[in-house]
Amino acid sequence: FTARTAFERPLMSGVAYALRVLHREREEFEKQHGWKIKKMETEYQFLVKDDYNPEKLDPSPVQDEYAPVIFSQETVSHIVSIDMMSGKSNHLGVVLTFAVYNTNLPPNATPKERIEATVGYLGASFDVPSLVEKLLHQLASKHTIVVNLYDTTNVSAPIRMYGPDVASTSEMHISNVDFGDPTHQHEMHCR
């Protein structure tokens, strides 16, 4: 289904469904599916399709609950069996996640009731570079927008991180960019 409807999500890299599995259910779940719930990454491997072998991933460590991917779009089929709760939270990229609840959840449920009613998670990863490119193209219309990103930690010697090496005296808009690193400062210059 996801492959047939991919045109409806042109900027998404992939869609996947992870089932919520409590620790007491893990052994039966693994027996039923014929595979072990795997840890998201090893010390040296990350979830990039061409760069890792899922067979070499370790079993997910013991936790109160797991979220192994059981269905996925073909573009992210390499993540089936991987526990989405076992990885680090500092990866680059954007994943939009929705909790899937059982049908008995009342409309005015408390946060605790929502947690208890969660049966799984629907996740969609975004192709951020394509999204930015498409937005810039739409904003620019017939004009070209040039974007440069600078590390301005050392104000007297900013470092160009992204964009062309072209100085321009034309009108420019400068925005501060916060990447969550308190030791570095960044600016985006658009013209």
Same domain (yes/no): 52, 116: yes
Same domain (yes/no): 169, 98: no
Last residue of a domain, one of 98, 127, 156: 127
Same domain (yes/no): 104, 156: no
pLDDT per position as a tens digit, 89-125: 555 556 778 899 998 899 899 999 999 999 999 888 7
Report if residue 140 sits inside a domain: no
Same domain (yes/no): 154, 121: no
Last residue of a domain, one of 75, 95, 127: 127
Write out the residue range of the structural domain in which residue 173 sits: 146-190
Q: What is the pTM of this model?
A: 0.60
CATH number for position 41: 3.30.450.350
CA-based radius of gyration for the chain: 21
Same domain (yes/no): 114, 185: no
Q: Flag the least confident range among 1-5, 72-76, 175-179.
A: 1-5
Count structural domains, the chain. Answer: 2
The pLDDT assigned to 181 comes to: 74
Question: Which amino acid is it at 92?
Answer: L
Same domain (yes/no): 20, 110: yes
Asked if the model's pLDDT at residue 6 lies above 90, the reply is: no
Same domain (yes/no): 43, 121: yes
Report if residue 138 sits inside a domain: no
Which two tokens mark 10?
């042109």
115: region left, alpha or beta (phi > 0 left; psi from -120 to 50 alpha): alpha
Asked if the model's pLDDT at residue 157 lies above 70, the reply is: yes
Report the DSSP beta bridge partners of residue 150.
160, 187
The pLDDT assigned to 45 comes to: 47
Cβ proximity of 97 and 122 under 8 Å: yes
Nearest to 57 by CA among 45, 67, 48, 65: 45
